[in-house]
Structure 1
Amino acid sequence: MKITDIECYPVWGGSRNYFFVVVDTDEGIWGIGEAGLTGRELAVQGVIEHFKTFLVGQDPFRIEYLWQMMSRGGFFPAQNIATSAIAAIDIALWDIKGKALNVPVYELLGGLCRDKVVCYPHIQRPSIEELVENARKHVAEGWKFVRWGLSEFGNILEPSIAIPQAVREFAALRKALGDSVELCFDIHTRLDPADSIRLCRAVEEFNPFFMEDPIRAESMQSLRLVRQHVHSPIAVGEQFASKWEFRQVIEEELMDFCRVDLGICGGLTEAKKIAGWCETHYIKLATHNPLGPVSTAACLHLNLSSPLVGVQEQPRKPGTSLMDVVTVQVPWENGYLLPPTRPGLGIDFDRDAARKHPFQIAELPQLRRLDGSITNW
């Protein structure tokens, strides 16, 4: 079997783009992958065009070899644009291998470690009343977790306003939902260490499942300071592009949950290594998955085959978006994702439908402090 083509499908989903990649072979078996790095899809597509020059003609079963070729073959170390391109191709190669061998991808990764994977939805709303109502709606549907994040007001994110608001939201949700529903909160790299510590300590009484991305990702040295002062579990890693960037937070045990993004960190091949490393430090996976149905499937196969899993991000139920493009999606039931039984990733992709949703330039929001200075979105 040989790779014959690699085709990119940047798809407009109504409010954002999704970036899918199809790898074709001379035996008619093809695989589907998805890249992250939302807002920089054209850059990822450019890298894939470079990769095509040496991947066409290669054996798609040599997944690790091809991963090394893409990661190290250009001399300059692959960072998040290149690793996002690698991720999409890598996931597609695993899909090809599963289809060719007529087994789900999780069987290739060691088989089932669990029967199902618990997941959390996004419940963000502009007011506390709407937030609580939306949380109750999701819990009634069967979700066991809810997740929301630090509030901005228009394009303003000011800690002195956002932190007290977050504390009020925690209090209202815990009162409305009781202790049986897990609360995940995303600071989204928007606070500096001192403000993040202040918020984390203020909400400890509400027993969050984790506090996500308490500081910016550029230097995890400062996470040591946060760790010393915070008792709630910490989740980080969604912006990391490789195992090398995870090294410090794993070895120094600066996180409790690993937010590895399969669409950015180099796909299943790299994520499986990161998961194994996390296991040696009792760090559970909490896969970052704000993307589309292909990423959902890839994360599910990793989580099904990994021994330590906390939760999978799942913004919405599978089968409720992009159904014309990804016509078969992974099963969901009562707050859990279930193992697919079809070979490969267990999903199906309609190329013609994807072409009917052409890419649109869409920048992510930009936030300011009250004084007009830039802050992280």
Structure 2
Amino acid sequence: MKITGIETFLVQPRWLFLKISTDEGVSGWGEPVVEGRAGTVRAAVHELAELVVGEDPLRIEDHWQVLRRGGFYRGGPVLSSAMAGIDHALWDIAGKVRGVPVHELLGGPVRDRVRVYSWVGGDRPSGIFDAVSAQVAAGFTAVKMNVAGPLAPIASPAEANAALARARAAREALGPDRDLAIDFHGRVAPALARRLVRMLEEVQPMFVEEPILPELPAEVLASVVGASTVPIATGERLYSRWEFKPVLDAGVAVVQPDPSHAGGISELRRIASLAEIYGASLAPHCPLGPIALAAAMQVAFATPNFLIQEQSLGMHYHDGHEPVAYLADSALFRFTDGYAARPTGPGLGIEVDEEAVRRADETGHRWRSPVWRLDDGGLTEW
């Protein structure tokens, strides 16, 4: 079997899909994207395609090594995301060739179902109690929300108290038996992060996500970890096991590699194994499309230290374009009591609606990350 070509598709609202075809008619799907830089990643995919077209698709690890190490400059969000999509598709092909889901190729399932959570509140969180109540009514046992919208480096007491009030509203709606995750989204300066995590202890978050920017030194992250008893999570903007080691050394409780950014299924597995050494859990970041989510779930079913899976159904970015719209069968994403059942279909366990994807690519998209400014006109983190 040989790879005959790689195609890419810009799919609304902000995704990029790829398809790998082979000379035996077996194809695989992947989702390589950096949100807001889909066109850039698309170009990188087609450059990397030169390294795998004409080769055996079942040599997944060898391809991963060549894609990463075959260039003098490596890593970073664009190249790692391009690699990730190719890796998804190769695992999809391998599962289809052998007639088993990918998690069977990763050692078999270690659980029967995967817990998922939903987003509430949007980028500028509001209406939290009602939004959380709706997710509870839908059967979810965990939700995640942003701590706040734009924040000054040292927020006022009113801003800090407003963040706490929103978290209290979420906890009231959830009750004591469900979980709340709180995303700082890298918007919070270290001194304020240390203050806020202490304030949030009373609502007992499952974790606080990306409390500070990922480029800050690991010892600064360690100071946030040590500031409270709240478990700290991070990793959506880290792209390899080498980048995860310093944050694990800093004491984070949860690692959050993204299946579309951190080198794909192959590297997610290695990051999870690294985290296991530190007693840390895996909670893959995935506010993206159906292929990325399917890839993350395959890893989740085969990973002992998996905690919970992010998913984007109903997310505020979608603007009417839901992930299931690009699937011929959405059974994998029908959640019951906040859990996803173990997929039994071959490969990634989904059937992509190729006609819908090709139609979407005719329109494409130009989604960009928002640019936020404070009242004084200065740039702040989104």
> Which interval holds the TM-score relative to the shorter structure?
over 0.9
Aligned CA distance change for structure 1 residues 316 and 162 (closer, same or farther; 3 Å): farther
Q: Which runs of 5+ in 1 are unaligned?
A: none
- The structure 2 residue matched to 1:40, chosen from 17, 37, 40, is 37
- Counterpart CA distance in 2 for 1:69 and 1:246 is 21
CA-CA distance at 1:368 after TM superposition: 1.8
Q: Is the 8 A contact 1:157 1:368 kept in 2?
A: no
2:379 — aligned with what?
Answer: 374
2:240 — aligned with what?
Answer: 242
Q: Is the 8 A contact 2:128 2:169 kept in 1?
A: no
The one-letter code of the counterpart of 1:111 is: G
Alignment of 1:220-235 (within 5 A): 220-235=218-233
The one-letter code of the counterpart of 2:379 is: I
Higher mean displacement: 217-226 or 132-141: 217-226
CA-CA distance at 1:126 after TM superposition: 8.4
Q: Is the 8 A contact 2:123 2:146 kept in 1?
A: no
2:11 — aligned with what?
Answer: 11
CA-CA distance at 1:315 after TM superposition: 2.5
- Counterpart CA distance in 1 for 2:357 and 2:201 is 45
The one-letter code of the counterpart of 1:375 is: T
Q: Secondary structure at the match of 1:35?
A: coil
CA-CA distance at 1:165 after TM superposition: 1.4
CA-CA distance at 1:151 after TM superposition: 2.4
Structure 1 length-normalised TM: 0.94
- Counterpart CA distance in 2 for 1:7 and 1:104 is 23
1:323 — aligned with what?
Answer: 324
- Counterpart CA distance in 2 for 1:324 and 1:17 is 14
Alignment of 1:127-166 (within 5 A): 130-152=127-149, 156-158=150-152, 159-160=155-156, 161-166=158-163
Alignment of 1:1-377 (within 5 A): 1-12=1-12, 16-124=13-121, 130-152=127-149, 156-158=150-152, 159-160=155-156, 161-219=158-216, 220-250=218-248, 252-316=249-313, 321-329=322-330, 330-331=332-333, 332-357=335-360, 358-377=363-382
The one-letter code of the counterpart of 2:151 is: L
Aligned CA distance change for structure 1 residues 4 and 366 (closer, same or farther; 3 Å): same
Provide the alpha-carbon RMSD of the alignment. Answer: 1.8
The one-letter code of the counterpart of 2:357 is: A
Q: Secondary structure at the match of 1:147?
A: strand
Q: Is the 8 A contact 1:72 1:78 kept in 2?
A: no
Q: Is the 8 A contact 2:8 2:16 kept in 1?
A: yes
Q: Which runs of 5+ in 2 are unaligned?
A: 316-320
Q: Is the 8 A contact 2:101 2:344 kept in 1?
A: yes
Aligned CA distance change for structure 1 residues 128 and 102 (closer, same or farther; 3 Å): closer
Structure 2 length-normalised TM: 0.93
Per-residue CA distance 1:332-359 (angstroms, 9 max, x = gap): 2220011111100110112221122232
Percent of paired sites with the same residue: 36
Q: Is the 8 A contact 1:188 1:213 kept in 2?
A: yes
CA-CA distance at 1:79 after TM superposition: 1.7
CA-CA distance at 1:371 after TM superposition: 2.1
